Structure 1
Amino acid sequence: MGKLNSFIKLEGTLNDLTFYKSQGNYLVRTKGGVPKKRIMSDPAFARTRENFSEFSTNAKSGKLIRDSIGILLNRAKDSKLSSRMLQLLNQIKDLDSSSKRGKRKVSIGLNTAAGKALLKGFDFNGRASLANVLHAPYTLDSTTGVITIADLVTAQQLLYPEGATHVNLRCGMVKLDFDSGIFANSYSTDTILPLDDTAASVVLTPTVVPGGSGFQLNLLLIEFYQEVNGIQYPLRSGNYNVLNLIDII
């Protein structure tokens, strides 16, 4: 049994490692409860050490993605986001066919078409998917990061919570280098529309195109408001607010 020294606090099982909480501490052990000292030195546990090394790398990659999104993330996320993302990144890491076990990386897995397909469309709020909330086509200009939704009829093409009077749409564009840990991001301004039967063309434009090396992430945020005496109050509805990674390049 060993203490989990990580900024990511998890409970559950990944490969042959079990993460759990006991008396306020987060601990890690193998399924059989083998002491940590033996795990870290016994040749029989070489595979376990490889899994733990890759787990740590995956966790750092997930945190880097979440940090890079910045201010949009708190608008639409769920309590299991870290663990959901870790499971997905573990699958993407497995697509790294050039590195030895224990050294495989999410960034190399994402360089494959299959890796990008796994991450594309990821909903940061697992309780509200883009496919369920938005029932209208949209286009993305991957060069500028502009997202366009033509003739959106908000009352008919959005699934929204009871009491909502307005919707806010916003896009984000991120440039992220996993190897250096450097990222840059940019967002559009808020586009707040009433929930009614009027068609409106929505054009979401990042203020700048982020520079730098690495992967480009394009995101779409949909969140709902209630207007009271002329003031917009965010509903922070966990079942409706959406943040979706609509593309990764």
Structure 2
Amino acid sequence: MAKQKGVVFLEGTIGGVNFYYRKGVPTARAAGGGFTKKAIKTSANMVRVRESNSEFGKCAQVNKNFKQAIRPFLLGYKDGTLHSRLMQLFLKIKDCDINSARGARCVAEGISTSVGVQRFKAFVFTPKRPVLLPCSYGFDWDALLLSATHFDVQTVGFPKEASFMELVFGVVRFDFQTLTYSLVMAAPLVIDREYASNSFTLSVAALPGGTGVLFAMLRVAFYQEVNGENYLLAGGNAFGVEVVSVKE
């Protein structure tokens, strides 16, 4: 039996290792039997444990840096499950790496596969608002333009307290190998309850520089205006984030 160390503590079984809390202390042990910290590092029987630990640690670093990269889209949002759900996503994308040996598999290789990209695109950031807008919308990589059509403000689902909706759009470039990132943002678009048009567009001036995967990201957030101050309504379906498009 060994104590878990670090900023992320697990529960469950991964790679033949049971992660659990014992008297409030995060603990790990081999499924079916105990072991020591020394055994984890040196025992031939613990090879799979070391391999899993190595891959898990790399995914944890991806998770940490990725959340920093998309921070402008998550400001004000509170979801205690997001960190662990993203961690599970990156572990699954890592599993798509079929070129590296076990213990050396990584997200950078996994997301270079079609299955890895699909898993990334399918991830639901905000389960309480999985579909941001009840209309057709997409990003044109050549025109650098997010376009929405067949839009009807009456079907958006304004929370009762909301005064207006704000759309925040940007393109992020994230290098899953070096964990570096850059982004460009469009000017926010505010839509109130009286919005009459059935379409809108948001554009960026250029793509972010650097290397890595490009993804266009959209945030929908509702605000309540009280005495001239705007307050974010981040609970329930009043907040949504989505990866609209991905370009390798």
TM beyond 0.5: yes
Aligned residue number for residue 49 of structure 1 = 50
One-letter amino acid of the counterpart of residue 96, structure 1:
D
8 A Cα contact 2:89 2:123, kept in partner: no
One-letter amino acid of the counterpart of residue 13, structure 2:
T
Superposed CA offset, 1:47-97 (max 9, x none): 111111111111111222211112212244521111111112222111111
Per the TM alignment, residue 165 of structure 1 is displaced from its structure 2 partner at its CA by 2.2
Per the TM alignment, residue 21 of structure 1 is displaced from its structure 2 partner at its CA by 4.2
Q: Distance in 2 between matches of 1:20 and 1:196?
A: 52
Per the TM alignment, residue 197 of structure 1 is displaced from its structure 2 partner at its CA by 6.1
Per the TM alignment, residue 163 of structure 1 is displaced from its structure 2 partner at its CA by 1.3
Poorly superposed stretches of 4+, deviation over 6 Å: none
Q: Distance in 2 between matches of 1:64 and 1:53?
A: 17
Per the TM alignment, residue 23 of structure 1 is displaced from its structure 2 partner at its CA by 5.8
Distance 1:201 1:98, change over 3 A: same
Q: Distance in 1 between matches of 2:171 and 2:92?
A: 24
Indicate yes or no: 2:207 matched with 1:209.
yes
Q: Distance in 2 between matches of 1:117 and 1:215?
A: 13
Specify which of 159, 163, 169 is matched with residue 171 of structure 1: 169
Q: Distance in 2 between matches of 1:107 and 1:77?
A: 28
Aligned residue number for residue 16 of structure 2 = 16
Q: Distance in 2 between matches of 1:68 and 1:227?
A: 29
Q: Which has the higher contact order (CA 8 A, sep 6+)?
A: 1
Aligned residue number for residue 130 of structure 2 = 129
Distance 1:236 1:51, change over 3 A: same
Per the TM alignment, residue 154 of structure 1 is displaced from its structure 2 partner at its CA by 1.6
Indicate yes or no: 2:161 matched with 1:160.
no
Distance 1:39 1:163, change over 3 A: same
Per the TM alignment, residue 211 of structure 1 is displaced from its structure 2 partner at its CA by 0.5
Q: Distance in 2 between matches of 1:204 and 1:112?
A: 29
SS in 1 for 2:136: coil
Aligned pairs for 1:67-216 (under 5 A) are 67-76=68-77, 78-130=79-131, 133-143=132-142, 145-156=144-155, 158-196=156-194, 198-216=196-214
Q: Distance in 1 between matches of 2:143 and 2:9?
A: 37
Distance 1:225 1:51, change over 3 A: same
One-letter amino acid of the counterpart of residue 153, structure 2:
T
Structure 1: where are the runs of 5+ without partners?
A: none
Indicate yes or no: 2:29 matched with 1:29.
yes
Distance 1:75 1:152, change over 3 A: farther
SS in 1 for 2:89: helix
Select between 23-32 and 168-177 the one with higher mean Cα deviation. 23-32
Distance 1:170 1:215, change over 3 A: same
Distance 1:142 1:233, change over 3 A: same
Aligned residue number for residue 5 of structure 1 = 5
SS in 1 for 2:118: helix
SS in 1 for 2:220: strand
8 A Cα contact 1:77 1:124, kept in partner: no
Per the TM alignment, residue 5 of structure 1 is displaced from its structure 2 partner at its CA by 3.0
Alignment root-mean-square deviation, CA:
2.2
SS in 1 for 2:112: coil
8 A Cα contact 1:78 1:238, kept in partner: no
One-letter amino acid of the counterpart of residue 99, structure 1:
S
Superposed CA offset, 1:151-189 (max 9, x none): 522222x12322112111111211111222211012122
Aligned residue number for residue 232 of structure 2 = 234
Distance 1:227 1:181, change over 3 A: same
Per the TM alignment, residue 25 of structure 1 is displaced from its structure 2 partner at its CA by 4.6
